[in-house]
Amino acid sequence: MNQDKPRIDAHVTLAHGNGGRRMRELIDGIFAREFGNPLDTQVDAARLPLDAPGADWLITTDGFTVEPLEFPGGDIGSLAVYGTVNDLAVSGATPRYLSLNMFIEEGLEMAVLERISRSIARACQICGICILAGDTKVVRRGQGGGLYLATTGIGQRRRGIELSIRCIQPGDRLIVSGTVGDHGTAVMLAREQFGLSGNLRSDAMSVAPITEALLECAGLRFMRDPTRGGIATVAHDIASATAATVRLFEDQVPVRNEVRGVCEILGYDPYYLASEGRVVAVLNPKAAESAVVALQRLGFHDARVIGVIESGTPRVILQTRLGGERLLPELEDDPLPRIC
Looking at 107, 142, 158, the residue that finishes a domain is 158
**What percent of the chain shows pLDDT beyond 70?**
88
pLDDT digits (tens, 9 = 90+) for 43-86: 666 666 677 777 899 999 999 999 999 999 999 999 999 999 99
Name residues whose C-beta falls within 8 Å of residue 17's C-beta, 6 or more positions apart in sequence. Answer: 23, 228, 334
**Neighbour-count burial of 135, counting CB atoms closer than 10 A to its CB (0-12 exposed, 13-18 middle, 19+ buried):** exposed
pLDDT digits (tens, 9 = 90+) for 294-303: 999 999 999 9
Q: Is the domain of 51 the same as that of 195?
A: no
- Residue 1's pLDDT band (cuts 50, 70, 90): very low
Q: Is the domain of 78 the same as that of 104?
A: yes
Q: Is the domain of 55 the same as that of 177?
A: no
pTM: 0.87
What DSSP state is assigned to residue 48?
Answer: P
Q: Is the domain of 94 the same as that of 113?
A: yes
Is there a domain that residue 148 lies in? Answer: yes
Q: Is the domain of 57 the same as that of 134?
A: yes
Is there a domain that residue 53 lies in? Answer: yes
Is there a domain that residue 249 lies in? Answer: yes
Is there a domain that residue 34 lies in? Answer: no
Q: Is the domain of 278 the same as that of 193?
A: yes
Alpha helices per DSSP H over the chain: 21-26, 32-35, 76-89, 110-127, 182-190, 208-214, 230-242, 257-266, 285-297
Is there a domain that residue 283 lies in? Answer: yes
Please provide the average confidence, as pLDDT, over all residues in the chain: 89
Residue at 23: amino acid letter: M
Sign of the dihedral defined by the CA atoms of residues 231, 205, 150, 93, in that order:
negative
| CATH code of the domain in which 125 resides | 3.30.1330.10
Q: Is the domain of 128 the same as that of 169?
A: no
Q: Is the domain of 98 the same as that of 244?
A: no
Domain carrying residue 65: 42-158
Is there a domain that residue 177 lies in? Answer: yes
| pLDDT for the residue 162 | 87
pLDDT digits (tens, 9 = 90+) for 7-34: 677 777 767 765 677 777 777 777 677 7
How many folded domains does the chain comprise? 2
Q: Is the domain of 284 the same as that of 314?
A: yes
Looking at 116, 131, 158, the residue that finishes a domain is 158
Residue 335 has pLDDT above 60, yes or no: no
Looking at 158, 190, 217, the residue that finishes a domain is 158
Is there a domain that residue 335 lies in? Answer: no
- Give the least confident one: 74-78, 131-135, 195-199, 228-232: 195-199
- Distance separating alpha carbons of residues 15 and 8, to the nearest angstrom: 12
Q: Is the domain of 174 the same as that of 319?
A: yes
| CATH code of the domain in which 261 resides | 3.90.650.10
Q: Is the domain of 255 the same as that of 291?
A: yes
Is there a domain that residue 6 lies in? Answer: no
Q: Is the domain of 198 the same as that of 243?
A: yes
